[in-house]
Chains A and B, each alone.
Chain A
């Protein structure tokens, strides 16, 4: 129960952070990506703010043998920079640049009752389903 409470609270803080930093405004994201035009470095400052906290905190947290309320840390095991990683990240970047949304702001944007967020969430899930169909071996 308490792990669920922390999860919900963590989601709330994450969503509030995305909204406070205006990252749920897709034009703000597109302006960051528009280096030769209306460049707005705000997204870079979001990353700096997030990484300043997370880098220091993760260093301390990951020295522990286990998380406080759970058996073990569940960290990504992959470390290789393989063609799949670069190809996938490039595809994602193209979709990000076309729409102005990555997954977090797509979901958080639902709080604005934004029609765009509904389209994004449905489109992202259709991408998930197609990828699973094509790549997952039974």
Chain B
């Protein structure tokens, strides 16, 4: 195992859970980030402002932690840009076809005990594991 960080993972996860619960309790909305991102362009006009605010909050929250603990996260350097570009495109296509990503299906969906979300989560984790196996161990695309 490499650089296992159980405490910051549990604490960060709890913050994510609190954030999702807040949004549902006060506003009745699900914190599914791919859906929120998509709606910035594709939701009805009167349903767009909150999405931009949530996304701005994501950036502000990341910035806040980095400001409190400088250097806590360091951007990765030197990763093949084509893997990012193609990977990002597939993330966009896949999350639209499956109606959700790790936050929507993996956190909010499983928290609602949705069997559909559990199936989606197991599928994208399995596909992710298989892809990393191919990229890291069968090819030499990344170290």
Contacts and interface: CB of A to CB of B under 8 A. Distances in A.
Interface of A: 2-4, 6-28, 30-31, 33-55, 57-58, 61-62, 66-76, 78-81, 84-104, 106-117, 119-132, 135
B91 A11 contact: no
Contact of B1 (A40, A43, A117, A123): A40
B95 to A, nearest CB: 5
Given A50-B16, A131-B92, A88 B75 contact: no
7 contacts: A8-B57, A12-B19, A17-B19, A19-B66, A44-B9, A53-B18, A95-B94
Nearest to A49: B13
Interface range for B = 35 or more
A102 B62 contact: no
B26 to A, nearest CB: 4
The majority secondary structure among interface residues of chain A is: helix
Interface string B69-101: 000111110010101111111111111111111
Given A40-B3, A116-B79, A53 B21 contact: yes
User: Nearest 6 A-B pairs (CB), nearest first?
Assistant: A11-B57, A127-B92, A49-B13, A123-B88, A21-B12, A93-B127
Nearest to A123: B88
A21 B8 contact: yes
Contacts of B91: 92, 95-96, 99, 101-103, 106, 120, 123-124, 127
Contacts of A4: 49-50, 53
Contacts of A124: 34, 37, 88-89, 91-92, 95
Contacts of A122: 88
Contacts of B15: 13-14, 16-17, 20
A76 B85 contact: no
A98 B87 contact: yes
A21 B73 contact: no
A76 B109 contact: yes
B22 A99 contact: no
Contacts of B3: 28, 31, 40, 42
Contacts of A80: 116
B31 A10 contact: yes
Given A51-B110, A55-B111, A99-B87, A125 B13 contact: no
Interface string B1-37: 1111110111111111111111111111111011001
A66 B28 contact: yes
